[in-house]
């Protein structure tokens, strides 16, 4: 089964609506070959008990952006992808407002893609996380 590539921004947002991106409230504002941008409203349910945005939320936002970029860049005939490796540096956090993730490709090969992403607080543009994400490209059997 091949993964379908959405054609419009509304379709990109709808694709994840019933999955983790929808549960988290990730909203894609750009899904292009060379850049993916999404926002996330900080709310209590996405935080840790100490009141700060949970590291898992930030990681999921970045991984999702890199994943959507991978789908947008899948080679012809590929059936999908899976995350092989994710490295993150959490440099800050947020208690309220919105955060924005921007992901860009570093390598787009036939067997792997590598993406870098940054997550920033919208209120002051502070960098709160950096990511390097490696995706394995999946091919149909046979």
Q: What is the pLDDT of residues 67-106, one digit of tens each?
A: 999 999 999 999 999 999 999 999 999 999 999 999 999 9
- Beta-sheet pairing, 80-90 with 127-138: antiparallel
CA separation, residue 18 to residues 21, 119, 130 (Å): 8, 23, 27
Opening angle at CA 20, ends 132 and 43, nearest 5:
90
pLDDT recorded at residue 1: 54
């Amino acid at each position: 089964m091949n993964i379908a590539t959405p054609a419009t921004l509304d379709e990109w947002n709808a694709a994840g609506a019933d999955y983790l991106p929808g549960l988290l409230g990730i909203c894609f504002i750009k899904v292009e070959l060379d850049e993916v941008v999404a926002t996330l409203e900080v709310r209590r349910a996405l935080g840790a008990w100490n009141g700060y945005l949970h590291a898992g939320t930030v990681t999921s936002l970045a991984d999702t952006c890199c994943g959507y970029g991978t789908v947008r860049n899948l080679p012809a005939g590929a059936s999908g992808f899976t995350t092989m490796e994710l490295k993150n540096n959490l440099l800050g956090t947020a208690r309220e407002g919105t955060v924005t993730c921007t992901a860009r490709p570093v390598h787009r090969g036939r067997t792997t893609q590598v993406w870098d992403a940054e997550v920033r607080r919208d209120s002051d543009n502070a960098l709160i996380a950096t990511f390097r994400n490696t995706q394995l490209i999946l091919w149909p059997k046979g």
